[in-house]
């Protein structure tokens, strides 16, 4: 049933586990997770010739990608495979489902079809979840796994991810939600994987914040402290220094929960409003430190529009804060002078060198914010020989949203050399088979182990890869660098612990306490 590829030893080892138990496979990007699913699909169809195989992925481009892998490496007639997404009409989806043996689908349409009784999981003998780290809280994967466990006569689950996260609670939740009975983890340094992993140079390039930026930074920090002092004075915060965005969001959620039972808790109401102001100032500070003046100016302009439209009291109050107003005025002056973050010049130098280094060189620049990404696209396209395009998700902001069809076309054009630099927001991190690149640049470090691993995996597929991470000294960039590093180490420790815990329990008694 399998053609055109020779399984690697680690793929066969993982397959042996996955054939016996519901398995979570954690494997670095580019090491053939889909091929393991394909091998297991062949095995399950051999054992259950009347069964169906279902592979679920979060987006249409990913679904098309799996379909392509099966088309290339699986002995099956084209009409026995089907791609189902929300774009396919419900009746058509049912027809495809009934006639196909191997089905690739996004989760949302499937939910509706199961609820309406149009389809059943009864004959599905293998269910795959790609980007399995998403199987938390209310995400569709969770509900679908439950329905599968109830309905399927011969159930088997294979969950795939490059990184399930660094939080014991979250990894445990993913395993519980997907009925996982064993875990197969490989890192780049494992002996059976090492020979297939290209070397990767990781360089941290530091830049200094200009004096004008530092002046704005002080004003924004003063404004932020004043908001947090209000919350502290009410007894909801112990300190106003070193409080992370995550902690502020958690506190805000806790206060909202408290309010739902007591509408007359005025101190909680005031604290919530001050926290909303603090988070807006904190975001401005992050843009200044890690992105640049253009991104900050655009953000401040949007805030000003919101204040004029009297959208929320928190936004209106910000515009009576002297420190914040002074920071805004200074930002506008610097923006009008055309001054930018030193990262931009550094990025232009790096990309120029990369494109000149060899014929057909390609690069991906990861950047978290669309305003920043658009600015970088303009700046890089001014360099001779550089053809840069922005790669973003579907959510429309201005005219920067790309439909899934456009995303696919963009990747094809990048593969054919129509342009040589992709500037990607988080959409480029996840699973998509972006063609080989020689260089990956992080415009900013990110505190997430999942996203850091996914970004790195975009290079070093076939030959030695290079990763450059831009860091602004004495800013949250430096903190984020170490947070991601420690979280990745922690993730591997947790997975080893969970794996040994699972091995101690008889099958069917996994509680992952």
**pLDDT tens digits for 48-85?**
999 999 999 988 878 888 999 999 999 999 999 999 98
For the chain, the domain total comes to 3
CATH number of the CATH domain containing 327: 1.20.1320.20
Please say if the pLDDT value at position 461 is more than 50: no
- CB–CB of 198/462 below 8 Å? yes
Q: DSSP class of residue 445? A: -
Angle at 350 between CA 438 and CA 371, to 5 degrees: 95
User: Which pLDDT score, from 0 to 100, does residue 56 have?
Assistant: 96
Q: What is the pLDDT of residues 237-288, one digit of tens each?
A: 888 887 888 888 888 888 888 777 666 778 888 888 899 999 999 999 999 9
270 and 300, same domain (yes or no): yes
Domain boundary among 336, 352, 381: 336
Provide the pLDDT confidence category of residue 513 given band limits of 50, 70 and 90.
very low
Count of other CB atoms within 10 angstroms of residue 309? 10
Q: Is residue 118 part of a domain?
A: yes
Q: Closest by alpha carbon to 383, among 348, 345, 414?
A: 348
24 and 163 part of one domain? yes
Co-location of 220 and 170 in the same domain = no
Higher-scoring residue by pLDDT: 459, 387: 387
How far the first Cα of the chain sits from its last, in Å, is 40
CATH code assigned at 417: 3.40.50.300
Flag whether 3 is in a domain.
Answer: no
Confidence band of 449 (pLDDT split at 50, 70, 90): low
In a domain, 113, yes or no: yes
State the Cα–Cα distance between residues 440 and 465, nearest whole angstrom.
8
Residues in the chain, overall count: 513
Domain C-terminal end among 336, 371, 397: 336
Q: Smallest Cα–Cα separation from 121: which of 136, 139, 105, 132?
A: 105
Distance between CA atoms of 47 and 42, rounded to whole angstroms? Answer: 9
Decide if pLDDT at 457 tops 80: no
Q: SS3 helix, strand, coil % of the chain, rounded to 5?
A: 55, 15, 35
pTM for the model:
0.73
Q: Does any domain span residue 29?
A: yes
Specify whether 30 is located in the same domain as 179.
Answer: yes
Assess if residue 479 is contained within a domain: no
Q: Which residue has the higher pLDDT, 328 or 466?
A: 328
Tally of CB atoms within 10 A around 213: 23
Token readout for 429 is 């991190």
Q: Are residues 23 and 145 in the same domain?
A: yes
95 and 161 share a domain? yes
Write down which residue in 320, 336, 352 finishes a domain.
336
% of the chain residues with pLDDT over 70: 89
**346 and 470 fall within a common domain:** yes
Mean pLDDT value across the chain: 86
pLDDT tens digits, one per residue of 91-121 = 888 999 999 999 999 998 899 899 999 999 9
DSSP-derived 3-state class of residue 237: coil
The first and second tokens of residue 227, run together, are: 């908001």
Residues 390 and 300 in one domain: no
Residue range of the domain that includes 93: 9-192+492-504
How does pLDDT run across 477-487, given as a tens digit for each residue? 888 777 777 77
Assess if residue 349 is contained within a domain. yes
Name beta bridge partners: 128.
Answer: 55, 158
Question: Strand 52-56's sheet: what is its strand order?
Answer: 81-84, 102-105, 52-56, 124-130, 157-161, 23-26, 182-185
122 and 215 assigned to the same domain: no
Q: Let me know whether 184 and 36 are in one domain.
A: yes
CA distances for 215 relative to 210, 326, 330, angstroms: 9, 10, 9
- Using alpha carbons, select from 122, 130, 132 the residue that is nearest to residue 98: 122
Q: Is the pLDDT of residue 508 over 50?
A: no
Q: What is the pLDDT of residues 6-37, one digit of tens each?
A: 999 999 999 999 999 999 999 887 788 999 99
pLDDT given at position 432? 57
Q: Is residue 1 part of a domain?
A: no
Residue 371 lies in a domain: yes
Instruction: Please check whether residues 204 and 232 belong to one and the same domain.
Output: no
Q: Are 263 and 387 in a shared domain?
A: no
């Amino acid at each position: 049933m399998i053609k055109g590829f020779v399984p690697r030893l680690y793929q066969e080892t993982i397959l042996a586990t996955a054939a016996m138990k519901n398995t979570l496979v954690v494997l670095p990007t580019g090491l053939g997770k889909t091929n393991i699913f394909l091998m297991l699909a062949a095995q399950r169809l051999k054992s259950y010739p009347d069964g169906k195989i279902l592979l679920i992925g979060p987006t249409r481009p990913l679904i098309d990608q799996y379909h392509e892998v099966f088309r290339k490496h699986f002995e099956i007639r084209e009409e026995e495979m089907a791609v189902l997404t929300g774009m396919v009409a419900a009746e058509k989806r049912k027809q495809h489902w009934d006639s196909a043996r191997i089905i690739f689908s996004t989760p949302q349409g499937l939910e509706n079809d199961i609820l309406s009784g149009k389809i059943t999981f009864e004959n599905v003998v293998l269910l795959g979840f790609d980007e399995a780290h998403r199987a938390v809280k209310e995400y569709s994967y969770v509900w679908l796994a439950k329905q599968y466990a109830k309905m399927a006569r011969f159930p088997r689950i294979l969950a795939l991810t490059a990184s399930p996260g660094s939080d014991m609670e979250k990894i445990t939740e993913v395993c519980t939600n997907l009925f996982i009975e064993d875990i197969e983890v490989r890192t780049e340094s494992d002996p059976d994987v090492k020979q297939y992993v290209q070397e990767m140079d990781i360089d941290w390039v530091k830049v200094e914040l200009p004096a004008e930026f530092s002046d704005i930074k002080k004003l924004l920090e003063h404004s932020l402290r004043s908001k947090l002092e209000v919350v502290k004075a009410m007894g909801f915060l112990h300190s106003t220094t070193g409080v992370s965005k995550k902690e502020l969001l958690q506190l805000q959620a806790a206060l909202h929960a408290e309010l739902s039972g007591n509408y007359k808790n005025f101190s909680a109401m005031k604290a919530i409003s001050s926290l909303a102001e603090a988070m807006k100032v904190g975001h401005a500070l992050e843009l200044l430190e890690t992105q640049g003046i253009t991104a900050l100016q655009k953000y401040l302009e949007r805030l000003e529009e919101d204040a004029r439209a009297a959208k929320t009291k928190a936004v209106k109050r910000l515009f009576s804060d002297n420190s914040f107003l002074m920071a805004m005025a200074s930002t506008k002056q610097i923006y009008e002078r055309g001054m930018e973050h030193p990262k931009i010049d550094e990025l232009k130098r790096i990309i120029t060198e990369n494109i000149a280094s060899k014929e057909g060189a390609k690069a991906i620049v990861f950047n978290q914010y669309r305003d920043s990404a658009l600015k970088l696209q303009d700046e890089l396209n001014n360099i001779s020989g550089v053809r840069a395009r922005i790669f973003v998700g579907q959510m429309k902001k201005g005219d920067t949203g790309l439909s899934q069809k456009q995303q696919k076309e963009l990747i094809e054009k990048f593969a054919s050399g129509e342009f040589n630099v992709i500037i990607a927001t988080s959409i480029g991190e996840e699973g998509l088979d972006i063609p080989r690149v020689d260089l990956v640049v992080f415009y900013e470090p990110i505190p997430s182990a999942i996203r850091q691993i996914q970004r790195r995996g975009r290079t070093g597929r076939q030959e030695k890869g290079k990763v450059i991470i831009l860091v602004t000294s004495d800013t949250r960039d430096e903190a984020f660098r170490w947070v991601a590093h420690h979280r990745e180490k922690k993730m591997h420790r947790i997975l080893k612990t969970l794996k040994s815990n699972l091995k101690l329990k008889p099958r069917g008694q996994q509680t992952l306490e």
